[in-house]
Chains A and B, each alone.
Chain A
Amino acid sequence: MEVIGKSVIRKEAQDKVTGRAKYTHDYHTSKKLSGRVVLSPYGHARILSIDTTDARKVPGVRAIITGEHLPLTGESMRDRPPLATNKVRYHGEAVAIVVADTPNQGDLAASLIQIQYEVLPVVHTPTQAFQQNSPLVHEHLDEYEREKDVNPVPGTNIAHHVKIRKGNMEKGWGESSVTVEGDYSFSPSDHAAMETRSSTAEITPDGTIKIITSSQAPFMVKQLIASYFDEDIGKIVVDTPLVGGAYGGKASVQLEILAYLSSRAVGGRAVEIFNEREQDMMMSPSHIGLDAKIKIGADHSGVIKAMEIQFLWDGGAYSDKAIDLTRAGAVDCTGPYKVDHVWCDSYCMYTNHTYAAPFRGFSHSELSFAVERTLDLLAKKLNMDPLELRERNAIQPGHTTPTRVLLNQSNVGNLQECISKLRTLIRWEEGPVREINERLVRVKGVSCSWKTSTIDSNAPSGVILTFNRDGSINLMSGVVEIGTGTKTVLAQILAEKLKMDVDKIHVRMTVDTQTTPEHWKTVASRGIYMAGRALLEAADDVIAQLKEIASIVLRAPIEDLEVAHMKVFTRDDPRISVDFKDICYGYQYPNGNSIGGQIIGRGNFILRHLSHLDPETGEGNPGPEWTVAAYGVEVEFDRRDLTYRLIKAASVIDIGIVLNEKAALGQVMGAMSMGLSFAGRETFYYDEFGRVLNPQLRTYRPIRYGENPEYLVDFVYTPDLQAAYGARGVGEHGLLGMPGALGNALSLAANVSLHHLPLTPELIWKTKAGNV
């Protein structure tokens, strides 16, 4: 192949590295007002009164908005007021908005709003939320509008419950001669994208609602604003330019709602809501936490017979995307292993924390930490090599997933080969432990993971192709460029298909929902998967139109024609040809007669045969394919200080085919870095009032260059027959196994079983002292 596989430099690269790239906040309209949000100072409190008298006197203040009379919002269940009413349910919740001429005026007015609160007892963890006598975050759970497959339990903090009931547990335990179990737990954390969220909304006199927003889901913004506020969906236009990192956090729709309400309150003038970092961390939704119980039964040779799993997801104060996360965790709850007997209860719990957004991996790195630690406990109990245990149980074609999807050569990758390659990549034959001296020891830990997507079964992706008069092509896709390089890879796919120079394909970087065809949301590692297929259909459409006109001009049957190098020509004699530039706008004869017209290619794609999950058993088909991977992490551990350095981190992923080598490596390494950072360092700390103690980058610290390990990446190539060129989604997968592998390495190194994140030296010290 000419273009597929090559490390084509991203089309937006020059703009980004020279600082010319524009992100949402960089777009200036001349008369943009500023919306400054007042945040809740408590994790759980009743709002007794709000007095805006002094705030209204500040010059430049145009409106002050509070929450009464606003409809409830929320994606799966409408439990969330856009601005808090009656009570606040998390530290940082939006309570009021001041719309002013300048941000400083807005901030001054915001500081003068007097709000009286009565503090309420805080629900600190999902386990506490699950107890009988826990305070309730939502007293009126039964009154909320919701999707028909959402099952809240009124009178409790359970927003949704997903059940997986596969096989026969009694039989499974009966066949198990060995069982292990573990409890695992970690708090919410943050996405920490470099670009904080921002949205601007304007309502023009003709009723058009224009929104510019840094989002992964501009089309969902359009849908939700129409639905929540009874607006004409055709009059809502959402623009999304380049996005400076998102990682799932910008798939949730929040700021857009606040911007729209702000604009509405000032007669439609443009209002921008821009998150300072603290607001981005506290007010906007964050990375979900989890309390998990895993129990595994296996026979004496290490073949897993049964798994019993309970997930209590820390969905935070509102359910929004946490219900989907809860479902996604259940769908892949066992990890990539053959397990005939599975009992999983996955609960979406309300707590008084910032509510959850998807985080890269969408519950999979979280569940994998719990499952992979337990697998190592099993390996230890059986006195078995941890990689061999995983290899023995690796899921394969012919096996079924927790939701009973039958796997085949196409819809699942080859985990055993991933493990085999991992062995070589990390020199597993050297053994997991190597003493450097009395204090220092190098230890390797391993894990596996997998993921399918759980997006809407009718999620669409569309592509439009148009020509320029020189025969070059414009490519329009609703995929947002959030830094994955997807837009460039789409150009490569088109270049390969049309056998033309990738530099002659011009990709539209910004998305505008009125003219760009919809791509459901830029999530789930399904960008190329879906847009690639839509693109191929559009390319076929373009080829057909080119050949139709060429056939007339060349006086040759369509079947005799080929397309390459921006020409259409007869296969047997390429000299008989016509250039794209002469037919892409139709063809004009010497006497002036013209035929055809501008060629416009269209294509769309939806996933095939997805189905809802049965509410009692969980049986159903959630996604098109499972990407599998094996991982290793090597640390250098100081046995006196209980500190460690990351030496190496490895991922072997069955990718199907590499579309752009450097882009794929970058995605995988970047994901690994995030996974290690999350596992090693990132968490929110809370006080007894549920207040976040570290909502700044001074005290919430992602990994830095220099702290990173050497990254090792390798691939396996089992094509997905449904995908463009066989390529599986791979954007998230580098992350998934890192917490598990790191936890396994450190547990071995420190000689103590670690069950929490982040894996700090203090955690190791506390666990060894028995104080956790």
Chain B
Amino acid sequence: MEDKGRERVMLPFSFDYERPKSFQEAVTRFQQADQSGKEPMYISGATEFLTLGRINQVYTEAAIDVKGIPEAKNIQFDQGYLVLGANLTLTELEEANVFPLLTSTSKQIADHTARGKITLGGNICGQIFYREAVLPLLLADSQMVMVGPEGVKVKPINEIFHERLLLQKGEFLIQVATDTRYLHAPFISIKRRQQWDTGYPLITIAALKIDRKVRVAISGLCPFPFRSNEMEDALNILEGSPKEKIQNALASIPSPILDDVEGSSEYRLFVLQNLLLDVYEALKFGERE
């Protein structure tokens, strides 16, 4: 973007803007820009690109806008899977409402205006570490469909997502596929903030119950979203009161626990305990049926 005279242009750096029409073209353009030393970047909704770029926390000389790629806007059912394009905005996901737990989690992310731009892929792959849209996918063992210089890759999320999606250079997320049996599993999603109903997550918890076991995924507690097998094992034990199970589960939480302007780590633990009680009320973990 050129300096438009007197007005301060939003971003303090100049960059090439590309809008490929296919994923192959996107990857090719990325590689070309990379070879030219332009530190290319894929963008989708671009909300983070603008807000972090303006304070010099993001830099690129080639922005490759993947919004035009048709496969990335899909919503379709295919052989027992729900396939969602990574460029669907959170608002589009909410309105389609094909995966109720994802709807419930997405519609609390950021604010109404931003959700019209934030995409599923952008929320998962961006720099801001909450990535709340990934929580339902962690719970549903989704398949992540990525494209890049090595072609198309499909991997289960628990292999390819550890604190963040482990993309190779030049790769981007194009679709997410979820086994339909998870779509109707009983679930709960709660977002607690420092105060009232707006702001970054203090703790966001998503949970579902399948095969008589409860699964739990959490964002905001640590500087990454996670699902912990040890925590789930502790919650799903048949013996003990809910409170005892929760105490045991807390022993397995990863570290570090965030301590920041949203809240202290001790307070986060207090909030988490109560949220797990709410999950118990809704889904009744560790009970004989």
Minimum distance in angstroms from A174 CB to a CB of chain B: 45
98-152 of chain A: CB within 8 A of chain B = 102-105, 107-108, 111
Complex contact B263–A707 (CB within 8 A): no
| A703 close to B (CB within 8 Å) | yes
Minimum distance in angstroms from B18 CB to a CB of chain A: 22
Complex contact A701–B198 (CB within 8 A): yes
Complex contact B261–A699 (CB within 8 A): yes
Complex contact A645–B12 (CB within 8 A): no
Instruction: Look across to chain B and name the residue whose beta carbon is closest to the beta carbon of A278.
Output: B55
| B95 close to A (CB within 8 Å) | no
Complex contact A104–B3 (CB within 8 A): yes
Of B59-67, B68-76, B132-140, B189-197, which binds chain A? B189-197
Instruction: Look across to chain B and name the residue whose beta carbon is closest to the beta carbon of A106.
Output: B8
Question: How many angstroms from the CA of A111 to the CA of B56 in the assembled complex?
Answer: 11
Q: Of the candidates B6, B55, B56, B197, which one forms a contact with A102 in the assembled complex, judged by CB atoms under 8 Å apart?
A: B6
235-282 of chain B: CB within 8 A of chain A = 260-264, 267, 270-271, 274, 277
Complex contact A681–B274 (CB within 8 A): no
Minimum distance in angstroms from B118 CB to a CB of chain A: 14
Q: Which label, helix, strand, loop or mixed, suits the secondary structure of the A interface?
A: loop
Are A698 and B8 CB-contacts (below 8 A) given A681-B195, A766-B267? no
Q: Chain B residues near A111 (CB, 8 Å)?
A: 56
Complex contact A694–B199 (CB within 8 A): no
1-39 of chain B: CB within 8 A of chain A = 3, 5-9, 12
Complex contact B196–A107 (CB within 8 A): no
| A46 close to B (CB within 8 Å) | no
| A34 close to B (CB within 8 Å) | yes
Question: How many angstroms from the CA of A274 to the CA of B7 in the assembled complex?
Answer: 11
Minimum distance in angstroms from B89 CB to a CB of chain A: 20
Q: Chain A residues near B56 (CB, 8 Å)?
A: 111
Minimum distance in angstroms from B5 CB to a CB of chain A: 7
Question: How many angstroms from the CA of A748 to the CA of B84 in the assembled complex?
Answer: 50
Q: Chain A residues near B8 (CB, 8 Å)?
A: 34, 102-104, 107, 274
Report how many residues on chain B are interfacial, defined by Cβ distance under 8 Å. 27
Complex contact B195–A758 (CB within 8 A): yes
Minimum distance in angstroms from B275 CB to a CB of chain A: 9
| B99 close to A (CB within 8 Å) | no
Q: Of the candidates A28, A32, A274, A707, which one forms a contact with B197 in the assembled complex, judged by CB atoms under 8 Å apart?
A: A707
| B200 close to A (CB within 8 Å) | yes
Q: Of the candidates A34, A103, A701, A765, which one forms a contact with B267 in the assembled complex, judged by CB atoms under 8 Å apart?
A: A765
Question: How many angstroms from the CA of A640 to the CA of B199 in the assembled complex?
Answer: 22
Q: Of the candidates A28, A707, A762, which one forms a contact with B196 in the assembled complex, judged by CB atoms under 8 Å apart?
A: A707
Q: Of the candidates B6, B192, B270, B274, which one forms a contact with A34 in the assembled complex, judged by CB atoms under 8 Å apart?
A: B6
| A680 close to B (CB within 8 Å) | yes
Instruction: Look across to chain B and name the residue whose beta carbon is closest to the beta carbon of A272.
Output: B6
Complex contact A698–B274 (CB within 8 A): no
Minimum distance in angstroms from A494 CB to a CB of chain B: 40
Complex contact A762–B263 (CB within 8 A): yes
Minimum distance in angstroms from A303 CB to a CB of chain B: 38
Are A28 and B6 CB-contacts (below 8 A) given A704-B197, A760-B194? yes
Would you give the 0/1 interface string for A745-767, flagging 1 where the beta carbon is closer than 8 Å to chain B?
00000000000001011100110
Q: Chain A residues near B260 (CB, 8 Å)?
A: 693
Minimum distance in angstroms from A599 CB to a CB of chain B: 43
Would you give the 0/1 interface string for A666-694, flagging 1 where the beta carbon is closer than 8 Å to chain B?
00000000000000110001000000011
Are A102 and B3 CB-contacts (below 8 A) given A693-B261, A765-B267? yes
Question: How many angstroms from the CA of A105 to the CA of B7 in the assembled complex?
Answer: 11
Q: Chain A residues near B199 (CB, 8 Å)?
A: 701
| A706 close to B (CB within 8 Å) | yes
Complex contact B12–A107 (CB within 8 A): yes
Question: How many angstroms from the CA of A274 to the CA of B277 in the assembled complex?
Answer: 49
Instruction: Look across to chain B and name the residue whose beta carbon is closest to the beta carbon of A692.
Output: B261
Are A706 and B261 CB-contacts (below 8 A) given A28-B6, A107-B12, A641-B274? no
Q: Chain A residues near B5 (CB, 8 Å)?
A: 102
Minimum distance in angstroms from B234 CB to a CB of chain A: 21
Q: Chain A residues near B200 (CB, 8 Å)?
A: 698-699
Minimum distance in angstroms from B257 CB to a CB of chain A: 14
Complex contact B197–A685 (CB within 8 A): no
Are A706 and B195 CB-contacts (below 8 A) given A104-B8, A693-B261, A699-B261? no
Are A704 and B6 CB-contacts (below 8 A) given A640-B274, A693-B261, A762-B267? no
Question: How many angstroms from the CA of A707 to the CA of B195 in the assembled complex?
Answer: 10
Complex contact A32–B6 (CB within 8 A): yes
Complex contact A103–B198 (CB within 8 A): no
Question: How many angstroms from the CA of A726 to the CA of B270 in the assembled complex?
Answer: 54
Q: Chain B residues near A761 (CB, 8 Å)?
A: 194-195
Complex contact A645–B267 (CB within 8 A): no
Question: How many angstroms from the CA of A758 to the CA of B200 in the assembled complex?
Answer: 17
630-670 of chain A: CB within 8 A of chain B = 640-641, 643, 645
Instruction: Look across to chain A and name the residue whose beta carbon is closest to the beta carbon of B267.
Output: A762
Question: How many angstroms from the CA of A698 to the CA of B6 in the assembled complex?
Answer: 27
Q: Chain B residues near A103 (CB, 8 Å)?
A: 6-9
265-302 of chain A: CB within 8 A of chain B = 274, 278
Question: How many angstroms from the CA of A105 to the CA of B196 in the assembled complex?
Answer: 41
Question: How many angstroms from the CA of A34 to the CA of B195 in the assembled complex?
Answer: 38
Minimum distance in angstroms from B9 CB to a CB of chain A: 6
Q: Of the candidates B7, B55, B198, B270, which one forms a contact with A707 in the assembled complex, judged by CB atoms under 8 Å apart?
A: B198
Most buried by B among A640, A641, A645: A641
Instruction: Look across to chain B and name the residue whose beta carbon is closest to the beta carbon of A759.
Output: B195
Instruction: Look across to chain A and name the residue whose beta carbon is closest to the beta carbon of B277.
Output: A640
Question: How many angstroms from the CA of A758 to the CA of B274 in the assembled complex?
Answer: 22
Minimum distance in angstroms from A167 CB to a CB of chain B: 42
A-B CB proximity, top 9 nearest:
A103-B8, A707-B196, A685-B261, A762-B267, A704-B198, A681-B195, A693-B261, A694-B261, A760-B195
Instruction: Knowing that A278-B55, A640-B277 touch, tell me 20 more A-B residue pairs with CB under 8 angstroms.
Output: A102-B8, A103-B6, A103-B7, A103-B9, A107-B12, A111-B56, A641-B271, A641-B274, A681-B194, A681-B195, A699-B261, A699-B262, A701-B195, A703-B196, A706-B197, A707-B197, A758-B195, A762-B194, A762-B267, A765-B270
**Partner-B contacts on A (CB < 8 A):** 28, 32, 34, 102-105, 107-108, 111, 274, 278, 640-641, 643, 645, 680-681, 685, 693-694, 698-699, 701, 703-704, 706-707, 758, 760-762, 765-766
20 contacts between A and B (CB under 8 A): A28-B6, A32-B6, A102-B3, A102-B6, A104-B9, A274-B8, A278-B55, A640-B277, A680-B195, A681-B196, A685-B261, A694-B261, A704-B196, A707-B197, A760-B195, A761-B194, A761-B195, A762-B194, A762-B267, A765-B267
